[in-house]
Structure 1
Amino acid sequence: MPDCEGCGACCAYSWEWPALLGPGDGAGIPAYFIEDGRMRCDGDRCSALAGTLGEAVHCRVYADRPLVCREFTAGSDDCRELRRLFGFDSG
């Protein structure tokens, strides 16, 4: 199983993701992390992601993170694809 806290690829590949999925999604997230119905990004990286990709990262809004983040599964095909894209997974 991939180590999410040593990766961060899923939070850093697209400025369009993660999107908030309706009323109440992301409740509790400070407004400065939200923009146009999604998490605000710095480049392609979610602004709530702290740390260094591929080394040590953490989500500053983990307890209140959007549903799409909650449903993303470590070790899934999408996870493995993003890890390969960033060079974190050779398989």
Structure 2
Amino acid sequence: MTHPCLTCGACCASFRVDFSVHETQEYGGDVPDGLTVEVNAGLRRMRGTDHASPRCAALTGRVGERAACGIYEWRPSPCREFEAGSDACQRARRRHGLPAFQE
């Protein structure tokens, strides 16, 4: 069975994603520099997540149908820590008109 997150992607199109500069390739981390924007000297943000209708630049596919992270292995800590089925997940799904997450 396909994991529900692979057909969702709502979290990637709902929230601002900020993280330490040390997670970027420039500072020895894994997150590709070209997919980030500078917030300040110590913070970077995933490109596209600060728009009025956020959508992470690494998100591929269509929210609610087939979605995936183009940099899954190199995604920043907020994405790694995001929990399927959490309150934030449920809010993101509602925002995109998707039913509640069921395990």
Q: Could you state the TM-score of these two structures normalised by the residue count of structure 1? A: 0.83
Q: Does 1:57 align with 2:56?
A: no
Q: Unaligned stretches of 5+ in structure 2?
A: 39-43
Match of 2:36? 34
Q: Does 1:19 align with 2:18?
A: yes
How many equivalent residue pairs?
A: 87
Query: Percent identity at matched positions?
Result: 39
* Deviation, structure 1 residue 29: 2.2
Match of 1:70? 80
Match of 1:80? 90
Whose helix fraction is larger, Structure 1's or Structure 2's?
A: 2
| Higher RCO (Cα < 8 Å, 6 or more apart) | 1
Q: Could you state the TM-score of these two structures normalised by the residue count of structure 2? A: 0.75
* Deviation, structure 1 residue 23: 4.5
Q: Unaligned stretches of 5+ in structure 1?
A: none
On the 8 A contact 2:23/2:31 being kept in 1, the answer is no
Q: Tell me, what secondary structure is at the counterpart of 2:22?
A: coil
CA distance in 1, matches of 2:21, 2:35: 16
Q: Tell me, what secondary structure is at the counterpart of 1:58?
A: strand
**Rg: which structure is higher?**
2
